[in-house]
Structure 1
């Protein structure tokens, strides 16, 4: 019984902490590249309007669960933010009922309500937090829509979605770099859920992508 309590007690506390967690909902659901340009702009405007409250909500809920996240502007390459997120994901999120399916590829196309909507919104807000950490100067990214004209064969997960963006000076013309950092956070939780289920081998730090951004590894 003691082993059972250690394994699942953290997941139970998590369920209690998110029992009234507000669901994140973009004005227009689905993959961005399938939306109209005006719909993508509305999604970005809504996202930017909600961003401060979603970060505060995540920080308060994490604090309730015993994890103190600094404000995004205080995150740096030398901080332990990625390690905190990794440890929390491994010890708690990976054991939450159904989280692997909630975070599986194609998550933008699925509709969730009630408990599943609250759980996924929490994970989504981790991605919002990570992306906002990268908007410091440096590394100097900003939130944007990836409006690259991809072909069907070359299309990235970032296509038409709210991502972080940076224009990198380069000759003969600047490089536009987009990163689906919310997707990376969601997939990190997915991977750790698979580790917990014995389906794959775990990474040393599943949130290392955040360190890579903060260290300037993406431009």
Structure 2
């Protein structure tokens, strides 16, 4: 599933291509499993005419800041991905959809056209993502429950080792705990443990 690198790549692509542009039109999928707690019509109406001010990320979650709230927020789930027409965006291989023959893809959950003609689509072919419209994404779950971001808020080595010694759980399970460090998934955890030659079942109290 998409982890911190893929979500950060999506955030950077939006930051580099969409900041300062006004939303001209929007299409929200009629899919209540992904589009959470709001009708497509109300979601669309809330976006129209707004200007994209910034793109933010914490852990595996991203939100787009507009010139006024509420803001679209994305929990990528198993196969969420961002596509910007004409812009290369790194994404998790299993999240990829065919956007060359069909645009927007039939898996698009939120499609946005900006005032300069640029088009953005959030897709999810597995339907485990969540797309929400929130006044303050950082104040509600899941973002409010996350620990420090692995990229943006790294622990220093002494604090990290000290925190490990205070716990008694398998090291990989702890790395996957988003309330401990946000953004790490299976492949990053496996790579970290491989690099330090630590077995996945090693208890953290052994550090």
TM-score range with shorter-chain normalisation? under 0.3
Higher relative contact order (CA 8 A, sep 6+): 1
Q: TM-score, normalised by structure 2?
A: 0.23
Larger relative helix fraction: 1
> Rg bigger for which structure?
2
Q: TM-score, normalised by structure 1?
A: 0.22
Larger relative strand fraction: 2
